Structure 1
């Protein structure tokens, strides 16, 4: 099924993007190079954050605890920030969670990528929706310390979006979204809904994850769901668990007519965004195949496309015993049963699990694949998990860089996320072969 004609409705599109990822990635171009070259962006734990590294690496001495490897996906520039540039004091900047600082920087870059002058937006009717989760940064707020007075606003889950809106002068809706690892695509959903509903003229949608403490490593070591070998082997049979990482990404969302009028590049048309919840029953951390399948089917229905047209699926791919089989079952029952051969992968295999930012890194990977016309490989895909029957559907792992042929001038892709609190999110994107294509 092809897209409806342009005059049917004014679609919501993505017309700007920026990304920071582990391995020194600070631009979409460098991100694409790493993906296309099958580079793993994992490094040892940072030694400049005051983390108890020795204790962390020896937690397996406790009964019932798993191994923690000296590995993760960490941002090189997590601490880099120019407070004067963004109009705040040095002390306030130090007190602000680094997720706020990185978020402000990446939002600025997304605007520049779209061709907008970030310094000329004061009073703009624009929204800001940012996914972020608390990361235990800095001293306790309930004590006297040199940063008292700045801690209330400095808490990440309160003010990442607020910082961005304040620094740019945006006057539309502004909110942080915390649905754990589904936060990114939930933020995208809210942004697209706000623009479509006229709450704002355009919006920034994004997510950020910078670990202020090694909390996530301790938690998943206790749950025996952390990688024991320092790799995130998404969908692989030798996967032992997930590997935590960091990242940030922001996209600009607006009506297609506005993007074309202002000469913005259209990276993709948002055909559908959906979120849902697992509901009660099994433990809250356990993913549910039926809930994810229900969500994907709803998104396909909203998008109004033949699921067989979807050529690339950027999955969640946590590399956990429960997560990958549940997700694969849902994708096999939907895209894999549609009669085509969609290729599946996860950016987590390159950079680790960026938690709240995971979905945005996956979305930007999808947009870059559509732009370049190639589907990048998913690492460790040569040994697919045996927890599902791959022969029962046409879904396959992306094992190498290969051309992505368009369908009537458009490439269709999908991206999935699910969170520890039971939330699921899914998006379907259509990407033009070239910006000026009359077929889009």
Structure 2
């Protein structure tokens, strides 16, 4: 039965998760990388295109146990590596929720995947003599979500979302909406990004958005552009009341979310302060959270001078405290400094970090590059960068995650500590 959402939406539980990011082949390794304060940016493998610019890359991204998933050899050869990674990651996220994936066959399970890469399609079509029916099922972007649904026999909604850099956080928003309206009983929301070409490198470089050293430096005086990264992440979601009733593990709770668009702003690729402010404020309102209730923000934090400035201004519009209500400044982190900009998976990288932080009761320090950009005026806007591990209140707290798409589609999610 569908549920309507009011000022405080039905909370959604994160009951399972899995991920692979640069330097981190699983959630525990991801958490250790974050706690270390190190970054995982390194030399670009030869298989990732002609560019020599460093970035954050996965190891063994081409490895796949096709027999385990009963995928025929010819199909496996045609499959985008992103399909393979998502299939493996989804399986492990379901297991992390304490569920046998085979038990979901035929069930009302939704599949929502964020992605913005067409690299595999371009490579597949570069050799016309190799085009076959499997080219469509192996490289079509819609198949990223549909492959999971097909192999696991999931009967809920299945769709791939492309809003550029905000794709996977928008996928989470849509998955939560589907749960609240009764379209599915459990939802898998994920994001993936594998770099197997250099087209986007050229686009970033020509647009003046590429960091020469391949590193994102969010909110730093040295910020000079985007460093690319790879990754995959999936969360398993259920309505909190259902998860608690059935004794599911709960890593964290999604209290509310929002998505909007910049519309006609100062260029289709330029961020828009008013729209970012509105999407954050709307998510907080839907979550029933006052601005002073939010302890920390996992920022979009690309490390472009304009992007950093607009994001800080929009956060200041929402969270700046001129009445002295806040007990502490709003703490701001950005995982892109550790693993790079994982594009279609960026929202998932950003979401899983605070989910783990809320579960462990501490927010890792971000690997900042150089000094804070003084032009951003963080202190006078009631904000501070997380330069040391931030201990969270023993009785729990709330956090926000932002993800902003290159074409202007913005998303924000408000999280809370799991109930005791």
Matched position secondary structure for 1:273: strand
Aligned partners of 1:216 and 1:244 also within 8 Å:
no
Alignment of 1:240-389 (within 5 A): 240-337=224-321, 339=326, 340-380=328-368, 383-389=371-377
Write the distance in 1 (CA, Å) between the matches of 2:103 and 2:186.
Answer: 15
Q: Which of 430, 433, 437 does residue 416 from structure 2 map onto?
A: 430
2:397 matched residue in structure 1: 411
Q: Which of 97, 103, 106 does residue 120 from structure 1 map onto?
A: 103
1:12 matched residue in structure 2: 12
Alignment of 1:68-107 (within 5 A): 70-107=53-90
2:174 matched residue in structure 1: 190
Change (3 A) 1:9 1:21: closer
Aligned partners of 1:134 and 1:156 also within 8 Å:
no
Aligned partners of 1:122 and 1:170 also within 8 Å:
yes
Unaligned runs of 5+ in 1: 1-7, 58-69
Write the distance in 2 (CA, Å) between the matches of 1:121 and 1:286.
Answer: 42
Aligned partners of 1:83 and 1:93 also within 8 Å:
yes
1:62 matched residue in structure 2: none
2:406 matched residue in structure 1: 420
| 1:136 and 2:119 correspond | yes
Aligned residues: 408
Q: Deviations over 1:321-348 (max 9, x none)?
A: 2111001111112124363412101110
CA RMSD of superposed structures (Å): 1.7
Write the distance in 2 (CA, Å) between the matches of 1:282 and 1:104.
Answer: 39
Aligned partners of 1:382 and 1:399 also within 8 Å:
no
Q: Which runs of 4+ in 1 moved over 3 A?
A: 138-144
> What is the TM-score when the length of structure 2 is the normalising length?
0.93
Q: Deviations over 1:231-261 (max 9, x none)?
A: 2111101111110101111101111122123
Matched position secondary structure for 2:366: coil
- TM-superposed CA distance for 1:35, in Å, is 0.3
Aligned partners of 1:332 and 1:393 also within 8 Å:
yes
Matched position secondary structure for 1:172: coil
- TM-superposed CA distance for 1:142, in Å, is 8.0
Change (3 A) 1:124 1:394: same
1:28 matched residue in structure 2: 27
Q: Is 382-391 or 247-256 further displaced after alignment? A: 382-391
1:5 matched residue in structure 2: none
Matched position secondary structure for 1:371: helix
Write the distance in 1 (CA, Å) between the matches of 2:124 and 2:255.
Answer: 43
> What is the TM-score when the length of structure 1 is the normalising length?
0.89
